[in-house]
Chains A and B, each alone.
Chain A
């Protein structure tokens, strides 16, 4: 039994990230509102960022910036590689979020709703009361 408790204590960070990931994943697949889906995707991404950053952590280590001086030999640096990868990933996350929000604004302009079901039904039937596109077509014909 102590073995299991040791594992939980040594790896509690992974449990936190899995919980965060589950929250984000649930928001992505269960919520109908498109903005909530984007928020869920962001929580999911944050869980993965934290996972990578925690992999790079070393007990007693400092930030990976070279130290000069008397104690330079004793300094332990944390692993710099995951930091670089996540700096890259954060930028991609910001870009995808921005494009997703812009698409949502256009969708709201077009269909007057953010609900996934309403949008899908409107797209399927092209009901004039939901779709700018269908109304335009009706005017044209």
Chain B
């Protein structure tokens, strides 16, 4: 059984390594993700549009604000789920 698991794991890892040959090199400035117009636009325009220096915060709280609201809901729901599971007897 463990041999089977090891085989499955090695198969998955080998497949990923084979597919990973096409990925851009580490630190490559010409990678498609960096050359995408969306990335360039975020880096150039986010300060004028949102007024904050940190691009990650600008993306997180402004452009993807709705997603982050869902994120906060996820962590809130996780807390409530743990309370429901473990705090059954006292309220």
Contacts and interface: CB of A to CB of B under 8 A. Distances in A.
A78 B77 CA distance: 33
B90 to A, nearest CB: 15
B31 A18 contact: no
Contacts, number: 132
B81 A7 contact: no
Interface residues of A, number: 47
B23 A14 contact: yes
A91 B13 contact: no
Main secondary structure of the interface of A (DSSP, over half): helix
A121 interface: no
Ordered nearest first, which 10 A-B pairs have the shortest CB separation?
Answer: A95-B78, A59-B27, A10-B25, A30-B5, A64-B55, A80-B55, A22-B13, A102-B82, A102-B85, A14-B20
Interface of B: 1-2, 5-6, 8-10, 12-13, 16-17, 20-21, 23-29, 31, 33-34, 38-39, 42-43, 46-47, 53-56, 59-60, 64, 67-68, 71, 74-75, 77-79, 81-82, 85-86
Interface of A: 7, 10-15, 18-19, 21-22, 25-26, 29-30, 54-61, 64-66, 76-77, 79-84, 87-88, 91-92, 94-96, 98-99, 102-103, 105-106
